[in-house]
Amino acid sequence: MIKSTLTLGLLFFLSISVFSQKWKTYPYTPPGNTVTFPVDEGRHDGEPVEWWYTSGHILGEKTGKHYSYMISYFYYPTGSIDGFRILNISDDDKGEFYQEMQLITFSVLAKDKLDIQVKKFDGSTESWKNKYHGTDMIPFEYNINAASANVVLNLEYKTYKHPLIIGKKGYLKLGYNNYTYYYSQTGISVKGTITYNDITENVTGSSWIDRQYGNLNPTDGTEYEWFSIQLSNKMDINIWNIFTTDDKVPDDDRFKIFAAYVRDNKQYTNSDFKLERLKFVYTSDKQRCYAQKWHLTSSVNKIDLIITTLHADSEVQSPFRFYEGTTAIKGTVNGVKVKGKGFVELLHSYDKPDMSFVNDVAWNTSIPIKWKLNNPDDGNPLLYDLEYSVDDQKTFMPVVSGNAENFFKWNSKEFSDGDKVWLKITGRSIDGTIYGIATKEHICSDSAGKSKN
């Protein structure tokens, strides 16, 4: 790994002394950190952008249905609007997905606690607040009330795990120019009610909270893939891959973040992990393409997981297009089998490969056939299939399939000096969903390429 892992990327283990959950009190500051509860659950005047995010998995008591949901309140003032709210809901048994964005103004946005009260563009109201017993605030417990045309959620949250502080002291530099203060609450029990398609029922389940404030702004074109992971061994993981404008993911702790909750007295943040995309899907209009399955590995705790989305069509359309949906997870940690669930937020879309042959028209068969990928993407390393045609592209015959390099040495003996051969290269994702094709006519020559190739 790069030497940046000696800072954030180097195993930064956060040791916390916990005695019978004494952290469940206000005010509370995790040892060695800048984040304080409940103050940092509220609005930060000095920060240009911040958001309150939660996602969860709940089970209907009456219908037995499995639901997943995401709610996010985004503070980003523009004109008379304070920001926007996104609400997603999925019937995970049927695969039904609904999403709604509403422009909002904050009628209350407390600075010393979590008290969000919003008025939506349609005139209705919603809230997310600290929970009270009489006049006493209950530490790390919350009430959420949110609704769209298809769903009404009234939920009570009770946190039972120590907050996961992301990075060093809850502060991160992300990408080249952004920063964020950041913590997650990864262990939350949920109860309440849901009204879905005119059926109201009690629900129970689990949830996750993400809190960020700084200058990182998803609306400015920054592309990333974010994952929340909750495993059966009680480990929770928060992961980021941030892409540069030319679709790179540098091996740098500003672009690769892996934060893990192991137990209340052990957390760490590093960049020692690898994500391999195994499956992709296009949106119905073919305008965007998202990853849908990943192989996650990390040498720390010997993590080896497969992460798979449950639904292919969980795309939010406004205020910008991105994928947000629930996942199923299985694999091993330290050699022990685990399973789990989570969410992914995907702002990175994958493009069709654009390729061109490098060889001159006059081609000597003793030299490698070379091609260039003009739009490489670190998230989608391509495999290449090379074919040839001697009947003016009426039919093509295979030369090699699944080649990982941008060249192939084909020592064919069947061509003579002056023969015309069409070469076709297909660059494709590992599952074949994303592909591009380039063709070029070559004239075989015994001497061609000796000076250039």
CATH homologous superfamily of 3-346 equals AttH-like domain (2.40.370.10)
Indicate the CATH number for domain 355-444: 2.60.40.10
**CA distances (Å), origin 315, targets 67, 170, 345:** 16, 29, 10
**CA distances (Å), origin 154, targets 142, 209, 223, 287, 365:** 11, 16, 32, 35, 70
* Backbone dihedral region for residue 374 (phi beyond 0: left; psi -120 to 50: alpha; all else: beta): alpha
Cross-strand partners of 138: none
Decide if 277 contacts 379 (C-beta within 8 A).
Answer: yes
**Phi/psi of residue 235, nearest 5 degrees:** -80, 140
Q: What is the pLDDT of residue 447?
A: 54
pTM of the model: 0.91
Q: What is the pLDDT of residue 429?
A: 98
Q: Where are the domains of the chain?
A: 3-346, 355-444
Q: What is the pLDDT of residue 142?
A: 98
Q: What is the pLDDT of residue 413?
A: 78
Q: What is the pLDDT of residue 354?
A: 98
Q: What is the pLDDT of residue 10?
A: 36
Taken in order 87, 346, 303, 430, the sign of the CA dihedral is positive
In which residue ranges of the chain is pLDDT below 70?
A: 1-21, 447-453
Decide if 375 contacts 243 (C-beta within 8 A).
Answer: no
DSSP letter, residue 195: E
Q: Please state the separation of Cα 94 from the chain's center in Å.
A: 23
3-346 and 355-444 share one CATH topology? Answer: no
Q: How far apart are CA 397 and CA 417, in angstroms?
A: 20
Which tokens sit at 441?
Answer: 């006519």
Q: What is the pLDDT of residue 34?
A: 87
